[in-house]
Structure 1
């Protein structure tokens, strides 16, 4: 018999569900002709005794299979029928496929008159027994809301499954379900999901199905998480004496990267005392003011802080220190001693200038000075002074060019003023154009540093 004939014979066995011999006939009704590896196939049978009353036996002629039934043998009256449920199980693990298992029925009174009945059994694998996927809003799951997700299941074979455990696992999903699946049943299991703060994008979700410690589903489904920008800004200003501090913070509570821009306008004066951290990306001058601009990106859960500190205290402190230094230097260089020369004309009754009265005013506006020597030169057209004020000179000198009057003063206190005066006559009648030179004073401060100051000169016409 060739392969083609064998194939036709098997088809004939599938189509015929009632087989008859001389003594016995059998009618087969499949209850569970699709089975899992290691599990029995189930058939309802009706056995009719066509002969006289007697015993009818059923044996499996295929050594790879065994049978279980409610009866070890059937005692049937002639012309009567008995019903039974036949379970056929492999004696060892068999590969998935279609099997024709032969069961022989015969009356014990005549074993040679038998009936071979073929039971066609489809053995299916546990793997991929159930198709599973997830369905959700095509726009994506919203991180800020409760989302409805549906687990869709489809039993691919005519096999009843009870207490199947499905595990849904991903970065944000951890759900377990226990359910039953009828033969070729399609079932939907809705459940809610709260994502929390998770970035937008497509996420893989693994779906595992376990039945009787065997994996019946191991699939991956893709779930989309929608974009949810949520930027919070907080500005905090603090003021203290001569110091203003501003802190600007932005936090990305969303689930997507956000490009941010922050700007602040400051006056030209404020800019002189402003410090920033970090430095702005751009500084633009606008109508006498300045616009500071920061540009930055914020990843989900990231924050960015800008610090601006306007400190007027330090510059003012520096100015005070500088002024103090200048003041000290000034006091060091100029101890505050000044000389003012005043000249009064002495005239005759006829109105001619016959002499002069000179006033030398010493005024100390600085610190105490000492060892003062004041000298005043007198032109040669004038005689040596003949009259002095309260303080007489220490010495006088005479030369062809003129004469010099010298006063030695031990000290001059701060704020003290001395007025020295003297009178002198003209050597010629009708004194004309004469320049009275400057008086010169040499003195020391408390550190023994020598100073020289001069008075004004005076032109006599």
Structure 2
């Protein structure tokens, strides 16, 4: 029976097939193998077309490794391709396996040809320990990496044979900092395992493309290796803020430390809320600009920081200038009310007469008023008449006559009124008539009068206003 099977295999090893566009021929090179060996077949393809075609060879079999290769078939030429079939899992010795092979057009996905090749797995006494380790590794992780968050990686391992792999080590490394793993792994025969790796990489890692390498090592031999391309993306989160505050005597200072957690140079606008009145008393270092957004007002600073860099902004609100102004105003008011004269004197001019186009005579009135709540005693009123004029000797009834009148070389006529007392709130009127020696043409100014009295031993003097008169 076994001889019949062998003869059948030899008969099938030289199989020639003709298709409409291609002629396929499959010849066995090695169809009898041990359980840990590979079978080989020679594929010969003759094209009946006038253009180059690309065919893809593949197999749906899950227990055999069939390379998904692309075969270029040239017109009027014979194309040869060596097909290598390797068992992925343990196969039972002494059995014949039929493996279906497909050829399809890469552009149209049309299946051009299919056939079954048969492989005889010979009986053997070879031990499992002589098998070469075979592990399939798959990596599941995102391609675009945000360095500010955790990175989760799943590594799927599958033992392809009956070896008990108890001395495996998974090495993970990359040029991007933070990816570093050395982990021992054990796989039972035909076993599967999923390793979950979690990485927290440097949030300031330079953005760009890197390779993440996964190596599965037994002893000193790398039995499986994959390089996963990753892209570290740019991140520009809001600057981190650390704040301290201190205040003393109507002055408040806020120190804010802004720290960049971006992995690129970043410029952000710092907005400090304020009001119209408050902005008069607030200042910043570095200097800020005032902006208005709707009903809100802000002080803004454009702050540029490199990755990991920090800068300080100082916000100072000081009402001290306002306090100083209020203190000075209070002092001035105190001095004013402390030293101001409690009596006022006002001078007015009326009944102006003219002669020959100029001023010849006018009436002068002095109004005294005591605004204090105490009686002013022994006050003296002094008034001056320029040399160009003189006073009438006659005084109106009810007016107080001068106590003294005398001449002065430069000041003219000087009149003094001695007043014994002026009661609180009392008004006194003093009037006299001044006549000019010559008609005065143009503007004429009447000198100021004054009143003098003593208060607590200190002499106080108040002056009247100066009155100007013009020719009508």
TM range (shorter): 0.3 to 0.5
Higher-Rg structure is 1
TM-score under structure 2 normalisation? 0.43
